[in-house]
Amino acid sequence: MRTRTTHRPTVQAPGRNTELAARALETLQSAFAVLDASDRVVLANGAARVMGVVKARQVVPGPLTALARQARQTGESSTADLELARGEFEPLAVRAWATPLGADGDIALHVSDISEAHRIDAVRRDFVANVSHELKTPVGALSLLAEAIGEASDDPETVKRFAGRIQYESERLSRLVVELIELSRLQGADPLPEPQIVPVDRVLAEVLDRTSTKAEARHITISSGGESGLAVAGSEQQLVSAVLNLVENAITYSPPHSEITIATRSNQGKVEMAITDHGIGIGERDIGRIFERFYRADQARSRATGGTGLGLSIVKHIATNHGGTIDVWSVLGSGSVFTLRLPAVAPPSTSWDVMKSRTKEAGA
């Protein structure tokens, strides 16, 4: 014998529904308020108060009140992107919706903060503009040099000189493309795939080896010291790239016959790598912006040395992706100290050849 079961809908008590609705509104990160026909606030969530949309049962920003009145007059929803003044603070960019709730003139007001979206759009526009400008310079130079070679085909010395410039501009263009790709990867969805335990000594040995020729050419001494046997978790290739950028910058902006030091230590659960030079230093006006993409404290010198303006931005992203930081101390005309701090981990148990001496001199 079959038994028929009838399921009746569960009916919540009115008080229970009101309580649930109030709780649901409080979970919203965007502001929500209900206005009566006199524009008085009869319901608002916490976000509406935090964002400054509602105060003392009144909608504070005038543009929102105007939007609500427009919806009330037309009987249709109204939407607008607005900037809400916040006194001494930056205006808040918002997207607001005003929706009629019936014939009584009540209006539902929904306000969402879109400041971050605006900031990202602005950064993207600046990035595209900067990339276009940076690519235009070497591409234009290559075109002019190729034309000049064609006109000077009967002058071997001139052709040789222009060919050298073409090689220089080609290398700079190649470096820019490589660094753009690296920066894009560092900002991607998976910037740190499969982190491994990385011995710091091995990172420094690689950097010293790769910078020795450039340092020797300028008679610059690079010395490395401090605590050995330290380790961090992450990508060895990225960490080498970060330290390499810092050391190459130090070489570029240091005078001949000067010294660069790389010092390592463990400090409060962090591995610190400090790169110190005695070069031209960084001015107070520029020091807060040097980690921005394409920012150069010395535009002319950076381009003359083949700099792309992306190196320090790459360092910052690598540090962030590894849970660390990059800081700088500098005095114009006296030099700079860049300190990379990363979370320390226990060194690998497998044995490997630790550098006996981590001091390398180039052109002493």
pLDDT at residue 133, as a whole number: 62
Domain boundaries of the chain, sorted by first residue: 24-114, 192-350
Per the DSSP assignment, residues forming a β-bridge with 270 are 267, 343
223: pLDDT confidence band, cut at 50, 70 and 90?
Answer: very high
What is residue 301's predicted lDDT score, i.e. its pLDDT?
45
Q: At 233, is the secondary structure helix, strand, or coil?
A: strand
The mean pLDDT value for 272-300 works out to 79
Q: Are 279 and 285 in contact (CB under 8 A)?
A: no
Nearby residues of 305 by Cβ (< 8 Å), 6 or more positions away = 252
Q: SS3 sequence, 281-346?
A: CCCCCCCCCCCCCCCCCCHHHHHHCCCCCCHHHHHHHHHHHCCCEEEEEEECCCEEEEEEEEEEEC
Rounded distance, CA 28 to CA 54, Å? Answer: 15
C-alpha angle with apex 191: 311 to 238, nearest 5 degrees? 45
pLDDT at 88 over 50: yes
Average model confidence (pLDDT) across the chain: 80
The strand pairing partners of 359, in sequence order, are 223
**SS3 state at 234:** strand
Considering the four listed CATH numbers 1.20.140.10, 3.40.800.10, 3.30.450.20, 3.30.70.2170, the one that applies to the domain covering 24-114 is: 3.30.450.20
The predicted structure's pLDDT at residue 171: 74
Instruction: Give the pLDDT of residue 190.
Output: 59
Instruction: Classify 276 as helix, strand or coil.
Output: strand
For 168-194, b/e burial (b = at least 16 CB within 10 A) is ebeebbebbeebbebbeebeeeebeee
> Which of the two residues, 257 and 16, has the higher pLDDT score?
257
Write the CB contacts of 201 (distance below 8 Å, at least 6 apart in sequence). Answer: 228, 229, 230, 354, 355, 358
Residues 6 or more apart whose CB falls under 8 angstroms from that of 117 comprise 93
Residue 167 has pLDDT above 70, yes or no: yes
User: Higher confidence at residue 12 or residue 121?
Assistant: 121
Task: Provide the pLDDT for residue 251.
Answer: 93
CB-CB neighbours of 94 under 10 Å? 24
- Residue-level pLDDT at 49: 86
Task: Please state which of the ranges 86-90, 331-335, 342-346 shows the lowest mean pLDDT.
Answer: 86-90
DSSP one-letter code for 230: -
The pLDDT > 90 percentage for the chain reads: 32
The answer, yes or no, to whether residue 352 has pLDDT greater than 70, is no
pLDDT digits (tens, 9 = 90+) for 33-59: 999 988 888 888 888 888 888 887 777
Share of the chain above pLDDT 70, in %: 78
Of 97-101, 243-247, 290-294, least confident by mean pLDDT is: 290-294
Highest average pLDDT, of 5-14, 83-92, 175-184, comes from: 83-92
Asked if 24-114 and 192-350 have one fold, the answer is no
**107 pLDDT higher than 50:** yes
Rounded mean pLDDT, 88-108? 87
192-350, which class in CATH? alpha beta
